[in-house]
């Protein structure tokens, strides 16, 4: 199938995996076009009824974190309407986008979403193809996932109290608040 290319979006099909690259803000028309494109791919062949989605979004392509989060919600609109897609791998360099995507993915019934860092792109494709992520000889980093699994009960440990905040001229602990090192 012919790729769909707009100013801020590119969709291609590669062996049952729809590759979606989001490079900036998408309009409502772009979202509709992407859904129509996926729907056409699914209707063209009986083998395309098990499509998976791989979304690439880099933080530098957006003016701020709110815009990046909003654009993944637009991707979520496509996922809500494309009921045959049951897995979505998100590849991004931003912890904020990964976290936002896990929240968005958790509210889409029947969707399994995993977020991967750019260096884990091969693992994302393996996961979409339902191949093992770890090899017997060399364990790799496992991506963050929105799937919740039960864990065995563990003994609770007490967390020591934090030391009191240093007093400032105005007396507020917020006066010394900084966000240095925040991963955008």
User: Is residue 40 pLDDT above 70, yes or no?
Assistant: yes
Q: Does domain 4-133+140-148 have CATH number 3.30.750?
A: yes
Q: What are the domain boundaries of the chain?
A: 4-133+140-148
pLDDT for 160 equals 58
Confidence of residue 123 (pLDDT cuts 50, 70, 90): very high
C-alpha–C-alpha distance, residues 92 and 77, integer Å:
19
Between CA 15 and CA 67 the distance in angstroms is 31
Mean pLDDT of all residues belonging to the chain: 76
Average pLDDT of the residues in 97-126: 88
Residue 150 has what pLDDT? 39
pTM across the whole model? 0.68
pLDDT at 122: 93
d(CA 6, CA 44): 22
Which residues share a beta bridge with 54?
A: 19, 89
Number of H helices, E strands in the chain: 4, 7
Q: In this structure, how many other beta carbons lie within 10 angstroms of the beta carbon of residue 100?
A: 23
Instruction: Residue 114: name the closest of 69, 70, 54 by CA.
Output: 54
| The pLDDT of residue 38 | 86
| Res 120: pLDDT | 93
pLDDT digits (tens, 9 = 90+) for 49-98: 678 999 999 888 888 878 887 888 888 888 888 877 889 999 999 888 88
pLDDT band at residue 166, thresholds of 50, 70 and 90? low
**Cβ count near 35 (within 10 Å):** 16
């Amino acid at each position: 199938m012919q790729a769909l290319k707009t100013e801020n979006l590119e969709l291609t099909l590669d062996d049952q995996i729809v590759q979606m690259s989001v490079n900036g803000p998408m309009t409502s028309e772009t979202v509709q076009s992407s859904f129509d494109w996926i729907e056409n791919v699914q209707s063209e062949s009986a083998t395309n009824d098990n499509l998976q989605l791989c979304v690439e979004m880099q933080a530098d392509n957006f003016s701020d974190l709110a815009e990046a989060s909003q654009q993944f919600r637009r991707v979520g609109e496509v996922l809500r309407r494309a009921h045959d897609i049951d897995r979505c791998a998100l590849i991004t360099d931003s912890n904020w986008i990964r976290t936002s995507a896990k929240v968005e993915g958790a509210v889409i019934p029947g969707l399994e979403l995993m977020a991967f860092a750019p260096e884990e792109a091969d693992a994302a494709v393996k996961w979409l193809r339902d191949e093992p992520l770890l090899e017997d000889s060399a364990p790799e980093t496992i991506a963050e996932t929105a799937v919740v699994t039960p864990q065995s009960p563990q003994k609770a440990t007490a967390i020591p109290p934090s030391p009191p905040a240093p007093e400032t001229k105005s007396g507020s602990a917020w006066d010394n608040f900084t966000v240095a090192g925040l991963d955008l």
